[in-house]
Amino acid sequence: MLKGLIFDLDGVLTDSAKFHLAAWNNLAQELGINLTSAQLDSLRGISRMDSLNLILHYGNQEDKYTSEQKDKFAEQKNEKFLQQVQTMTPQDILPGISDLLRDAQDAGLKMCIASASKNAPKILNKLGIADQFDDIVDPATLHRGKPDPEIYVKAQELLGLATDEVISFEDAAAGVEAIKAAGQFAVGIGNRQLLKQADYIVTTTKELKLDEIMAVFAKGPEESR
């Protein structure tokens, strides 16, 4: 029986992902690294330091900088990202999400945020929806990033629910992989081929309907595919 929903943040509840990617692309260019669209897209859903290390890998610069220099680069990126966050308002909630959250509350479902972003609380407050969530996974408590399932296991534990009592939402392939590795039902938002591991897929958040998702969830992961 469904009792809770777990959400990634960037690209699921709001398009703050575009701010992240723009800030990373700016940093990469400063380091003399020109990222392709595919390489930039691969940064979705993973932690700050994992993103930086991947960028350095793309530029063959993995061993060029010290840990202290990497920390400084990550902080520079975050400062640029936060400048954009300050401009966010409830108007930046993605289409269909407000209705989904309201329907979930009406159904008595618990809700948790499972985002690698350390800025999740700030973003939720800017969007005006922080009070709709029962908990937020603190990335600082995690040891491994997506596609490792740790963050989704942690979110489930925070809600006090079992694996078969939650549905998790993601827009990144690494995130969907993490959800499935945690043994949870995955809703993918975006490219169907990239998110083919998900149990239920929509192209945009506007297509998310809680009753339809719950109907598929009730059939079980194997039947829903």
If pLDDT is split at 50, 70 and 90, which confidence band does 112 have? very high
What are the distances in angstroms from CA 39 to CA 25, 36, 124, 157?
10, 5, 27, 33
d(CA 87, CA 97): 19
Given this model, what pLDDT does residue 44 score? 79
Which pLDDT does position 150 carry in this prediction? 97
Mean pLDDT, to the nearest integer, of 71-92? 92
Q: Which pLDDT score, from 0 to 100, does residue 69 have? A: 96
| Rounded mean pLDDT, 48-59 | 94
Give the pLDDT band (50/70/90) at residue 65.
very high
Residues paired with residue 170 on neighbouring β-strands, in sequence order: 188
pLDDT digits (tens, 9 = 90+) for 166-225: 999 999 899 999 999 999 999 999 999 999 999 999 999 999 999 999 999 998 755 544
pLDDT at 116 over 90: no
Stretch 28-50: mean pLDDT: 90
Cα separation, 80 vs 10, whole angstroms: 16
Confidence of residue 109 (pLDDT cuts 50, 70, 90): very high
- Crossing angle of helices 150-159 and 173-181, in 10° steps, is 60
157: which residues sit within 8 A by CB, 6+ positions away?
none
Predicted local distance difference test score (pLDDT) of residue 118: 84
Q: What is the pLDDT of residue 84?
A: 86
Catalytic site residues? Answer: 8, 10
The pLDDT of residue 47 is 80
State the chain's mean pLDDT as an integer: 93
Q: Quick one: CA torsion of 123, 128, 131, 134, rounded to 10 degrees?
A: -40
Higher pLDDT, 84 or 72: 72
The string of pLDDT tens digits covering residues 129-179 is 999 999 999 998 998 988 999 999 999 999 999 999 999 999 989 999 999
